[in-house]
Structure 1
């Protein structure tokens, strides 16, 4: 087995990067543990104690239902309930959705909303994520760009669309005369799911108030939706991005209605470069809705 001491710094850095991309966030044990042997040992121990436990159960006096009015000492104790320790991660439920909605609606600016999201602790996704991803950019153009959820690069760098996908997004924005500074960039989900899995339905429901509040506060003129997950989220449809892309739809948030168009996510374009032609067509259609440049 290759030991860390046998690897060069460059090889060790490459290995750590590989684990990070695979979703490995921390080491559980300092030394390797033979889980199969431990399981067999536990199984043998249970089998050895089973005869004694059965004999004790047979010799134990039978319990009867307590008689009404019997003194407390003769009553059968109530069954203990499962512990709900505070150390457990928050479980998505209706209360968490209501808490997220209250936190989002209480924010009167993007800065307050950023603080609210960073302080929110009722979503399981936050327990494993390194960063909380919120809106960035000035939005001076009236354009908002919304992706699905942060990936490993985003989680590591602390902002949306990092790495190669971010560089490609920069070129896509440049093609329509925009930059990261002139648009507002955000994601539907503020936290990277473990291993880049898809967020669950409850997790998505918890995050919905935050992205909708961002739209309501910014009141963009146009929204560019990137990727299959984000398109389904906003349009309420189940088709693939190839069926949902390139069409104008109206989405609403907090009483603000805005025209939105979906196109392929930069990561999808890196995986399938042939689809860049489709994205280019979408960007041309999107740019036609932009105001013409003002002279003088």
Structure 2
């Protein structure tokens, strides 16, 4: 097929779409179910063991081991029970099946963290969330842990995954400008996400992934103990407040969040990523940020 400028533009647009979706490299045209492959490997090993057992039984009783350099006796293959757990080829830890035990383990670990540094170390060592297998870095927090203002988003994106800090991409740059508009910057705020690892392709975290990570963000808020808590988008507000309202109905409405030793003033507003797609809604976010400033100043 003859190459043309139109074809070049189409290819560039397709590559830009893949890059924006979080595709870092091409592994193949079809998805691979690593769990299914592991099951198949276990079945093959079990079959091989069953074949090896009759051969071993045929050896005469009391026969001696072959001398060095002679023919070797057949070796039994490992059983299916000894098969390794499913894992990505480049991952250092096996994948886990999310269940109540994993969530309980996360809850116990988070409760034991006495400081934010302890909590970050617990998350770095935690193997209960499969998102860790595909993410490049743990995205724990940014800003000032002593600040009176705390922001909580849903999950990091591509730029955040590369740098290990929340809200550093285009949406983070918009958040910085929104803070500047009310006379603040990141030194006056603490920023985190409900899920600290980037989901593949920037997809939405599953309910199981969110529940596994939830104890850590709850403890993180408890340790920071801010005066004002801002949920960026409906997902973080629904997870941490247990509400079901959509962001249009929820935003701008002050609520009470149960803190360590006080009720924290909490409010939800549009996520900066949404504002980049719907710039007309910035006027409503501007109202929310003016309200946040008034809460902080007592006006």
In the superposition, the TM-score normalised over structure 2's length comes to 0.72
Query: Does 2:230 match 1:224?
Result: yes
Q: Which SS does the other structure have where 1:259 is aligned?
A: strand
Deviation, structure 1 residue 126: 1.2
Deviation, structure 1 residue 26: 3.7
Aligned partner of 2:207 in structure 1 is 201
- The answer (yes or no) to whether the contact 1:165–1:267 under 8 Å persists in 2 is yes
Deviation, structure 1 residue 209: 0.6
Indicate how the Cα distance of structure 1 residues 255 and 92 shifts in structure 2: closer, same or farther if over 3 A, else same: farther
1:272 to 278, 290, 294: 278
**Count of matched residue pairs:** 241
Q: How do 1:245-264 residues align onto structure 2 when only pairs under 5 Å count?
A: 245-252=251-258, 257-264=263-270
Q: 1:178-202: CA deviations, max 9, x gaps?
A: 2112211101110111122221111
Deviation, structure 1 residue 18: 4.5
- The answer (yes or no) to whether the contact 2:166–2:191 under 8 Å persists in 1 is yes
Distance across 2 between alignment mates of 1:184 and 1:118 = 19
Distance across 2 between alignment mates of 1:145 and 1:278 = 17
Q: 1:212-243: CA deviations, max 9, x gaps?
A: 01111111111111012112112212222111
Deviation, structure 1 residue 131: 1.5
2:221 to 191, 211, 215: 215
Indicate how the Cα distance of structure 1 residues 117 and 278 shifts in structure 2: closer, same or farther if over 3 A, else same: same
Deviation, structure 1 residue 120: 0.9
1:189 to 185, 195, 202: 195
Deviation, structure 1 residue 83: 5.5
Query: Does 2:129 match 1:123?
Result: yes
Indicate how the Cα distance of structure 1 residues 249 and 17 shifts in structure 2: closer, same or farther if over 3 A, else same: same
Distance across 2 between alignment mates of 1:18 and 1:130 = 20
Deviation, structure 1 residue 174: 1.4
In the superposition, the TM-score normalised over structure 1's length comes to 0.72
Deviation, structure 1 residue 249: 0.8
Aligned partner of 1:242 in structure 2 is 248
Distance across 1 between alignment mates of 2:296 and 2:199 = 34
Distance across 1 between alignment mates of 2:188 and 2:12 = 35
Aligned partner of 1:21 in structure 2 is 20
The alignment yields a C-alpha RMSD, in angstroms, of: 3.1
Aligned partner of 2:104 in structure 1 is 98
- The answer (yes or no) to whether the contact 1:213–1:253 under 8 Å persists in 2 is no
Query: Does 2:161 match 1:155?
Result: yes
Distance across 1 between alignment mates of 2:182 and 2:25 = 41
Q: Which SS does the other structure have where 1:290 is aligned?
A: helix
Distance across 2 between alignment mates of 1:106 and 1:14 = 48
Runs of 4+ in 1 over 6 A off after TM superposition: 12-16
Indicate how the Cα distance of structure 1 residues 17 and 154 shifts in structure 2: closer, same or farther if over 3 A, else same: farther
Deviation, structure 1 residue 118: 1.2
Query: Does 2:85 match 1:85?
Result: yes
- The answer (yes or no) to whether the contact 2:115–2:223 under 8 Å persists in 1 is yes
Deviation, structure 1 residue 107: 1.2
Query: Does 2:283 match 1:290?
Result: no
- The answer (yes or no) to whether the contact 1:143–1:220 under 8 Å persists in 2 is yes
